[in-house]
Structure 1
Amino acid sequence: GPSVTTAGIDAGGKPITNVGAGTNDTDAANVAQVKAAEAKAGNAVQYDKNADGTPGKSGVTLGGLNADGTPATAPVKLANVADGNVAAGSKDAVNGGQLNTTNQNVTNLG
């Protein structure tokens, strides 16, 4: 059965119930806290879904879900993006600074 000894706590395979929400770094978290953290993390970036509803993993949508669970449709901005590799065959994204440099180079050609 359950026991508390100097070696630790053994719940004997039983659930520990009525656990308050942990607040300090060394406190235990209850299931509600874990679910809330999972929901926040899971809604930040979503894989686009295939027609059958499974994650497609060929694209992502940023923004997560609205409070009612529907997909958020407001545009989002990617910030602090590193320079992408601008070369033949590259599949990297470019950032605003790189685009501005290209625009200036084109302007200077004229």
Structure 2
Amino acid sequence: MVTTDSCERNDVYMAACPCRDMLDLLANKWSALAIGALEAGPLRFGVLRKTLEGVSPKVLAQTLRKLEDNGLVDRTVYPEVPLHVEYSLTPLGRSAAEPLAHLRNWVESNAGKQ
């Protein structure tokens, strides 16, 4: 039995399925690009911001927070002066990185062909 609060199986086509939240997060361009940038290893916020040209600090911070809240990114704070914070992919984030890389590659190969 499927209720409006949850679904018994993951099916992105079902309105009440919680997996839609993950799909929405991963379909966001800044999420997809941040995950791609972190594939090579941990990065500091400033390096991520430079890598993701065009993202505002506010949007990047919100994106990283959502990725962390959903178990895709780890945030590590090093108690140094000045404070040192690094972001890295979790195992779940690394598993999402592969299909997102295929999507980014497809977009780069097919941009302008429409």
Query: Under a length normalisation based on structure 1, what TM-score does the superposition of the two structures give?
Result: 0.27
Q: Which structure has the greater CA radius of gyration?
A: 1
| Greater per-residue helix proportion | 2
Query: Under a length normalisation based on structure 2, what TM-score does the superposition of the two structures give?
Result: 0.26
